[in-house]
Structure 1
Amino acid sequence: MGSTANAFPALVLNADFRPLSYFPLSLWSWQDSVKAAFLGRVNIISEYEHTVRSPTFEMRLPSVISLKEYVHLDRRPAFTRFNVFLRDGFLCQYCGDHLPSEELTFDHVIPRSRGGRTTWDNVVTACQDCNLAKGNQMLGNCGMTLMRPVEAPTTYELQQNGRAFPPNYLHESWNDFLYWDSELES
């Protein structure tokens, strides 16, 4: 198959047929999906037309797989810069501008110099201009307000927010599983 093999990722579904993650989309390389299928860890739901071969084995590449064991996603999400951006929808929480992640910063609502901590309920997404304008001031002193209250998101909320940002590549066999709970066309 050569270098084109990297073009055949498999969408990974939990045992309940929901994607493990929407953003980033839960994908495995064709090698990992074939290995997991061979070891009996996943069910193959859909396949590509392309096959892999060895002297004693031939298999079509999986395009959609589901885990046989359910993975619980109700744990609290990790506090990371990316997850803060995802919680806030990649919007500056002061001016509302939507920017790519490389143009965003995060801001401490209560500045660290004033005892603010780096936690879910004190860090927001900010554009560079608003972050500089606020500086180490308290919101009441700088005339700026937040677009919404700041709190720790649930894994479900991050998943829902991630659905608004589709990946660059979607194989047609994935559509039924990515948007299965959206409203059907009449």
Structure 2
Amino acid sequence: MADGSLLNFPALVLNADFRPLSYFPLSLWSWQDTVKAVFLDRVSVLNEYDQEVRSPQVSLRLPSVIALKDYIPAARRPAFTRFNVFLRDNFSCQYCDDQFPAHDLTFDHVIPRCKGGRTTWENVVTACGVCNLKKGPHLPEKINMHPRRRPDQPTSWQLQENGRAFPPNHLHESWRDYLYWDTELEN
């Protein structure tokens, strides 16, 4: 079988406690990385696809769900990144409250940098382009534009919970027992 036909066989990766390493983006490994981890005895296979891969000596059904044998603790303090700010704010502009795809969102410094504001969890919010331009270099009080919620540093758990609100387009049926979205899985 050609490699191209195996592109649609990712494995859902669970931590040793059987929870996904991350929800958004969903923790997935390519079939190659998964097979390598199986042979190195770093994971337990919990579910498999019907699809097989073969070598001259071995035939193996591709794993669809794996669990790490060693527990990886979540970072206590998530990294301050643009993506994590968007995830903290649920991909919603904190001024108009509309949701947008990530490529249509920007950072906004609540207290502008030109007025001494810093680039920190407590001073940066997600904004759409229109609201960011409207607010510009002004203090929120001067133009009556206040964020809907006060910006703060989220925990890793909060980011995971927010990520659960954004299921990916494709969820394999074998992942159903390991993910806890309120949406039905499609065939």
TM-score range, shorter chain: over 0.9
Q: Please report the TM-score for the alignment, with normalisation by the length of structure 1.
A: 0.95
Alignment correspondent of 2:77: 76
Please, what is the CA RMSD of the aligned residues?
1.1
Alignment correspondent of 2:118: 117
Amino acid at match of 1:50: Q
Q: Say yes or no: does 1:58 pair with 2:59.
A: yes
Shift, 1:68, TM fit: 0.2
Higher mean alpha-carbon deviation, 39-48 vs 167-176, is at: 167-176
Q: CA-to-partner distance for each residue in 1:139-162, whole Å, 9 max, x for gaps?
A: 000111111111001000000000
* Superposed structure 1 runs of 4+ greater than 4 Å apart: none
Alignment correspondent of 2:185: none
Q: Distance in 1 between matches of 2:155 and 2:72?
A: 16
Give % identity. 65
Q: CA-to-partner distance for each residue in 1:127-179, whole Å, 9 max, x for gaps?
A: 11110111111000011111111100100000000000001110000011011
Amino acid at match of 1:130: C
Shift, 1:74, TM fit: 3.9
Q: Distance in 2 between matches of 1:29 and 1:7?
A: 9
Q: Distance in 1 between matches of 2:88 and 2:66?
A: 28
Shift, 1:75, TM fit: 2.3
Q: Distance in 1 between matches of 2:178 and 2:159?
A: 18
Alignment correspondent of 1:25: 26
Shift, 1:124, TM fit: 0.3
Amino acid at match of 1:34: V
Q: How many pairs are equivalent?
A: 181
Q: Distance in 2 between matches of 1:172 and 1:63?
A: 9
- Structure 2 alignment gaps of length 5 or more: 183-187
Amino acid at match of 2:151: V
Alignment correspondent of 1:12: 13
- Partner secondary structure for residue 7 of structure 1: coil
Q: CA-to-partner distance for each residue in 1:86-143, whole Å, 9 max, x for gaps?
A: 0000000011011111111110001000111111111000011110111111000011
Q: Distance in 2 between matches of 1:120 and 1:56?
A: 53
Q: Distance in 2 between matches of 1:15 and 1:84?
A: 27
Amino acid at match of 1:120: W
Alignment correspondent of 1:128: 129
Q: Distance in 2 between matches of 1:69 and 1:161?
A: 25
Q: Distance in 2 between matches of 1:145 and 1:151?
A: 14
- Partner secondary structure for residue 120 of structure 2: coil
Shift, 1:4, TM fit: 1.4
- Partner secondary structure for residue 62 of structure 2: strand
Q: Please report the TM-score for the alignment, with normalisation by the length of structure 2.
A: 0.95
- Structure 1 alignment gaps of length 5 or more: none
- Partner secondary structure for residue 150 of structure 2: coil
Q: Distance in 2 between matches of 1:82 and 1:109?
A: 18
